Structure 1
Amino acid sequence: MDFGKNLQYLRRLSKNLTQEDLAEKLNVSRQTVSEWETGEALPEMDKALELCKIFNCSLDNLFRDVMPVSDKMYSNLRLEKVKAFRYIMHTVLSSCPEDDALNRIFNYAKKFGIENPKVIGWDFPFLSQEQINVYHMHGYTAALILPDEIKIECQELPIYQQEEHNYAAIHIEHPFDSPFSTIPGAYRTLNDFMKVNGWEHEDKNIIPCFETVGETMDVYIACK
């Protein structure tokens, strides 16, 4: 049973709710909350149901699920208002598309004389089952954020505009130490963060989720 770890995790997602804050909401002592989290005791059913209401989860989530544990690789979990930006993008479909997509975008940055380019990327979701299962392909889109002073006139290179929007975001300090667990774990943490705080996903006319490119990484999911 992972109840104690799950409770600590949910407290962190709920605006870093302290043990004292949670105890006050439940009308119990801080020591009681501490005993729940260390596994020395379990809450009565009425308190368990109150916890589910506070954290917008089910009893199964609370007592049976193994929720991600945000360790030292993750920090700065937040709701961020991302300012409006212009961008160009390039999508590659292959068995290993990330490098090709990113190289094309960095070449564009060099061509346009953009120093220290800001590049983001996201998985391209619109593949057929044949492409995935038979040819083992997946898609990746890389995008170059255009500085305000950069003017591009090229009919073959569309420029996209995204308006200011709210995103749930998290920072990963060493994303490529264990990328196949660390990066998906960041997305799971953000989805839990949104659920706990009652925020819905938004994907109309904006990039629904993306990652920054670099030695460190910030992962973003759009919120309504």
Structure 2
Amino acid sequence: MSFGQNLQFLRKMHDGMTQEKLAEKMGVSRQTISKWEIDSAFPEMETAIALCKLFSCSLDELLRENMNSGSDAYTNICVEELPPMQYVRYAVISGAPEDDAIKHVNDWAISCGIKQPEIIGWDFPFTSQEQINVYHMHGYAAACILPSDFDTTCADMEIITQAKQQYAVITVKEPFSAPFSLIPNAYKTLMRYMEVNGLQHKQTKEVLPCFEKVYEEDSVSFMDVYIAVEN
């Protein structure tokens, strides 16, 4: 990854900043920004440091790292306000807990008359070092978002209520084509977006701090990754 590609990536992550706007902030011409982004010219050290300050990154990251790994797979990075919701959840700790947790919640939803369950999931953090290091186990929680007309009296699982909340969101195309790189890097890219735009991760017991939602459109699979941000 070149300096120019990193700069273009960071500029677009910063609320879609234009070359003109970045030029104005740096006190240079738009043509200069264009030259930087195609690596035909480079800023002076003082200006490079100012770019790092603007985009909340280090000089080493800007000049040397691949800050946009897997960029073709990622789209629709934005902040979205989710309305109030109610959900039930089920966690599994095992060597491969995701499928079991999702199946349990999906089966429960179908048994309660929810015809098209909206299922989300996230890593379940309450695993011991022995489970992780010795038994190679990890935790995963799946949840079903309850429809507004759901009869809560028939639920045999705890119903959790969450108020409206803002999330930073990124969409991953075909996430399971390379899950061990695309999904972790989606979180990394989303965290970078938050840093660039001065967004703070919200981590309180009243809010799901992060979760994933998998779905299909026109026979193509997608995953939306959500990270809660301070309102």
In the aligned structure 1, how far is the partner of 2:70 from the partner of 2:30?
22
Equivalent position of 1:145 in the other structure? 145
In the aligned structure 1, how far is the partner of 2:130 from the partner of 2:5?
40
**Once the two structures are superposed, what CA deviation does each residue of 1:9-60 show, in whole Å capped at 9, x if it has no partner?**
1111101112222112212122211221222221102211221222122222
* Alpha-carbon offset, residue 97 of structure 1: 0.4
RMSD: 1.5
Letter in 2 for 1:88: V
TM-score with structure 1 setting the length: 0.94
Equivalent position of 1:109 in the other structure? 109
In the aligned structure 1, how far is the partner of 2:107 from the partner of 2:156?
16
Equivalent position of 2:228 in the other structure? 222
Aligned to 2:65, the other structure's residue is in SS state coil
In the aligned structure 2, how far is the partner of 1:61 from the partner of 1:85?
38
In the aligned structure 2, how far is the partner of 1:155 from the partner of 1:125?
25
Q: Is the 8 A contact 1:86 1:160 kept in 2?
A: yes
User: Structure 1: any 5+ residue segments left out of the alignment?
Assistant: none
* Alpha-carbon offset, residue 2 of structure 1: 3.1
Equivalenced residues, count: 224
Equivalent position of 2:218 in the other structure? none
Equivalent position of 1:86 in the other structure? 86
* Alpha-carbon offset, residue 138 of structure 1: 0.6
Equivalent position of 1:38 in the other structure? 38
Change in 2 beyond 3 A, CA 1:69/1:18: farther
Equivalent position of 2:51 in the other structure? 51
Q: Is the 8 A contact 1:105 1:143 kept in 2?
A: yes
Matches within 5 A, 1:163-178: 163-178=163-178
**Once the two structures are superposed, what CA deviation does each residue of 1:54-91 show, in whole Å capped at 9, x if it has no partner?**
21222222223321345232111100001110000000
Q: Is the 8 A contact 1:122 1:141 kept in 2?
A: yes
Percent identity reads 50
TM-score with structure 2 setting the length: 0.92
- More deviation in 99-108 or 210-219? 210-219
Matches within 5 A, 1:123-138: 123-138=123-138
**Once the two structures are superposed, what CA deviation does each residue of 1:148-190 show, in whole Å capped at 9, x if it has no partner?**
1112336851100111111000112211111111111110111
User: Structure 2: any 5+ residue segments left out of the alignment?
Assistant: 216-220
